[in-house]
Every structure is written in structure tokens, then in C-alpha cells.
């Protein structure tokens, strides 16, 4: 085994007992037969390991805990609603996945219902119906003015009713009727 590699391992894994068993034995065998590496190992132990062995573990002065406790007590007095909520949010959110899924489905269904019944949609439908009726009415009056006479009007009204779709829009066909041309003209406008 190469001395350089052995020295690298002495500096770390060997001295710290972090080498796999087989490798540790190989390094030990090399050290036993190589004076340079033996001296190096002795230096590493003397300089980088042994001086730390007697270091006494201390506990912090009691004043440190007293300061921490005082700071926490002060903070507890000033806790806002938001802080209390955020501290308990984890518990609130700790519910099974199935409950989340059911919640999402309910919200989605509710959202669809709201959208379908939304006032702006109803308003739009009313506007569309109103526009169709207004167009029809205008077309009838215009036709009446142009051609004159109630019998002609009745004939054309029947035709318009035939053209009306279920969705209250008016289907026009200018090739079939004079009034159809007017209705189409009005809707385009």
C-alpha cells in the first residue's frame, strides 16, 4: 500500500475508527512495517486528537435558560391571532387524504353550480332573448310599414314563429321571405 494513501487514511478514517474492517487491518499492517507512517500516525494522535480528549463538556450558565424563558413569556403575551392560528394549523390540517378528496369534490361541484346560476350568465341569456325578440319586433314593424296591411303581417308572423329556435334566437333565410331578410339585417346590426 502506498504511503501517501496510508497517510490520508491515518488523518481521517483510521484515526477516527471509520474504516471498514478489512481496510483498517491493511493500514495497520502497513504502519507496523513502515517507520515513516508510524511516526506520522504518532504525530497525528499527539497534535490533532489527544489535546481534545480531556475537554470538559460544560452546561450553559443558568442565566441563559432564564433569558430564554423570559423572552418566551414576553412573546406569549404578545401573540396575535395569526400566530396562534399558524401554530395550530398543523393540527387543523392533519386529516386523512379521503377527507381532502371529498372536500375538493364538494368545492368543485359547488363552483359548477354557482357558475351555472351566476347572475351574469342569466343576464346574458336574457339579453340574447331580448335581442332576438327586439329584432323580430323591429322586423315586423318594418315589414308592416313597407308592405302595409294586417293580412300580410299575419302571414309573415306565422313564418317568423316557424323560424324561431328553442334557444330563442331567430333563424333567418332571406331566400324564403322578405321578412327573413329584414330579421337577418336587424340581427347583423
Partner 1 sequence: MEDIPREVVELAAKGDIGAFEEIYRATSSFVYNTAFQVTRNREDAEEVTQDVFLKVHKELGRFEFRSSLRTWIYRIAVNLAINAYKKSKRRDSRQNELDENMEVADARSRADDGAIREEDAKFINSILDTLNPDHRACVVLRNIEGLSYQEIADTLKININTVRTRLKRARERMIEVFKKRGN
Residues in touch with partner 1 (CB under 8 A): 8, 11-13, 16, 18, 43-44, 47-52, 54-61, 63-65, 67-69, 71-72, 76, 86-90
- Shortest distance in whole angstroms from residue 58 CB to partner 1: 6
| 96, 98, 99, 102 alpha-carbon torsion, rounded to 10° | 170
- Shortest distance in whole angstroms from residue 130 CB to partner 1: 57
DSSP string, 42-58: HHHIIIIIHHHHTPPP-
Nearer to partner 1, 89 or 104 (CB): 89
Nearer to partner 1, 22 or 54 (CB): 54
Nearest to 145 by CA among 169, 179, 114, 122: 179
Nearer to partner 1, 12 or 134 (CB): 12
Give the residue ranges of DSSP H helices in 45-149.
Answer: 50-53, 62-77, 81-93, 97-116, 119-147
Nearer to partner 1, 44 or 140 (CB): 44
Amino acid at each position: 500500500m502506498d504511503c501517501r494513501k496510508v497517510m490520508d487514511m491515518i488523518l481521517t478514517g483510521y484515526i477516527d475508527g471509520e474504516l471498514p474492517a478489512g481496510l483498517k487491518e491493511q493500514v495497520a499492517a502497513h504502519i507496523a512495517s513502515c517507520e515513516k507512517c508510524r511516526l506520522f500516525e504518532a504525530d497525528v494522535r499527539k497534535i490533532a486528537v489527544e489535546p481534545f480528549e480531556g475537554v470538559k463538556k460544560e452546561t450553559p450558565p443558568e442565566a441563559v435558560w432564564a433569558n430564554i424563558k423570559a423572552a418566551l413569556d414576553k412573546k406569549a403575551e404578545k401573540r396575535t391571532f395569526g400566530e396562534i392560528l399558524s401554530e395550530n394549523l398543523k393540527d387543523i390540517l392533519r386529516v386523512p387524504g379521503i377527507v381532502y378528496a371529498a372536500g375538493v369534490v364538494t368545492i368543485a361541484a359547488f363552483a359548477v353550480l354557482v357558475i351555472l346560476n351566476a347572475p351574469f350568465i342569466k343576464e346574458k341569456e336574457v339579453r340574447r332573448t331580448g335581442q332576438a325578440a327586439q329584432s323580430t319586433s323591429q322586423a315586423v314593424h318594418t315589414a308592416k310599414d313597407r308592405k302595409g296591411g294586417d293580412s300580410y303581417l299575419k302571414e309573415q308572423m306565422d313564418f317568423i314563429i316557424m323560424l324561431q329556435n328553442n334557444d330563442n334566437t331567430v333563424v333567418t333565410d332571406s331566400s324564403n321571405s322578405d321578412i327573413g331578410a329584414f330579421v337577418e339585417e336587424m340581427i347583423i346590426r
